[in-house]
Copies of this chain bind each other. A is one copy, B any other.
Amino acid sequence: VPNYRLLVEYDGTAFEGWQLQPGGARTVQGALEAALRPVAGGAVRVHGAGRTDAGVHALGQVANAHLARSLPPEVMVRALNAALPRDVAVRAAALVPEHFHARRDARRKRYLYRLWTAPARSPLRDRISLWVPQPLDLAAMRAAAAALCGTHDFASFRAAGSAAPTSVRTLWGLEIAGEAGGEVSLAFEGDGFLRHMVRNLVGTLLEVGRGRRRADSIQAVLAAATRAAAGPTAPARGLVLVAVHYDLDFPSRSGGLEAGEG
């Protein structure tokens, strides 16, 4: 059975998240499965690398789907994008080995969280960033970010009720770019992220940036291993799943994944 890998971009504002839900909520997975049905000639299950929450965006979500028939990836991209609503699109498709699974095989993910730190809010940035009217102490935030990098038990940053068997994760990088008073972005790269982990990290770093929490308290927050020790969950609107990486670059039968990337 041909297995296709899809590179998916979406504006999460009007979606109830990635994952299919009972009751017909509008989800990205649901939109993709509906668009794939006529292309594949039957019902299709789509597996996404990351189950993004309602309001979270993606530039480089990765999904895979087994189709009953084989199609040139370029034809599939065109057919899917013609059928999908405006706020979701497939950037590229590729045939991959039958055993490839977008979520289980993911080795590394990159998320970006955007802030707009000017005194007045910015309507043109409203859907994709969080407005923070206060000036932020970026040096203090960077010191706190450095303490978060590495392999830690991130239990303090995990959503209540999260079912992951372990909360140990490796954060390879947390870069804070931009300047106080303008656009600031926080880039997270890690082997995997617990539910709400990025947004809880952002909420905690914002407390540091506002002077409400000391940068050197991060070790204690991690050691507490309880959600109450960390800051609040930052809103979904600022978060984008930028990329998902895999061990191998799967060769495809007609054009690699990268061929179609913008």
**Residues of chain A from 80 to 99 with CB closer than 8 A to chain B in the complex:** 81, 86-92
**Residues of chain A from 97 to 128 with CB closer than 8 A to chain B in the complex:** 116, 118-124, 126-128
Number of interface residues of A (CB under 8 A): 32
A-B contact pairs, 22 of them (CB 8 A): A9-B122, A9-B123, A9-B124, A10-B123, A11-B124, A11-B126, A59-B124, A77-B119, A81-B120, A86-B121, A86-B126, A87-B123, A87-B126, A89-B122, A89-B123, A92-B120, A116-B262, A118-B261, A119-B262, A124-B128, A127-B127, A181-B262
Closest Cβ–Cβ distance, residue A35 to chain B (whole Å): 13
Pick the residue among B11, B119, B123, B181 that contacts A86 (CB under 8 A). Answer: B123
Q: Which residue of B lies closest to A119 (CB)?
A: B260
**Residues of chain A from 42 to 57 with CB closer than 8 A to chain B in the complex:** 57
Instruction: Please give, as numbers and ranges, the residues of chain B lying within 8 Å of A87 by CB-CB distance.
Output: 123, 126
Q: Which residue of B lies closest to A181 (CB)?
A: B262
Cα A11 to Cα B240 with chains together (Å)? 20
**Residues of chain A from 10 to 68 with CB closer than 8 A to chain B in the complex:** 10-11, 57, 59
Report copies per complex. 2
Is residue A182 contacting chain B, with contact meaning CB distance below 8 A? yes
Closest Cβ–Cβ distance, residue A72 to chain B (whole Å): 13
> By the criterion CB–CB under 8 Å, are A123 and B92 in contact?
no
Q: Which residue of B lies closest to A92 (CB)?
A: B120
Instruction: Please give, as numbers and ranges, the residues of chain B lying within 8 Å of A261 by CB-CB distance.
Output: 118
Given A119-B260, A182-B262: A57 in contact with B124 (beta carbons within 8 A): yes
**Residues of chain A from 125 to 177 with CB closer than 8 A to chain B in the complex:** 126-128
Q: A: which residues have CB within 8 A of B?
A: 9-11, 57, 59, 74, 77, 81, 86-92, 116, 118-124, 126-128, 181-182, 240, 260-262
Instruction: Please give, as numbers and ranges, the residues of chain B lying within 8 Å of A120 by CB-CB distance.
Output: 9, 77, 81, 89-92, 260, 262
Q: Which residue of B lies closest to A57 (CB)?
A: B124
Closest Cβ–Cβ distance, residue A156 to chain B (whole Å): 31
Cα A85 to Cα B126 with chains together (Å)? 11
Closest Cβ–Cβ distance, residue A71 to chain B (whole Å): 16
> By the criterion CB–CB under 8 Å, are B57 and A88 in contact?
no
Given A11-B126, A123-B9, A124-B59: A118 in contact with B262 (beta carbons within 8 A): yes
Pick the residue among B10, B121, B182 that contacts A89 (CB under 8 A). Answer: B121
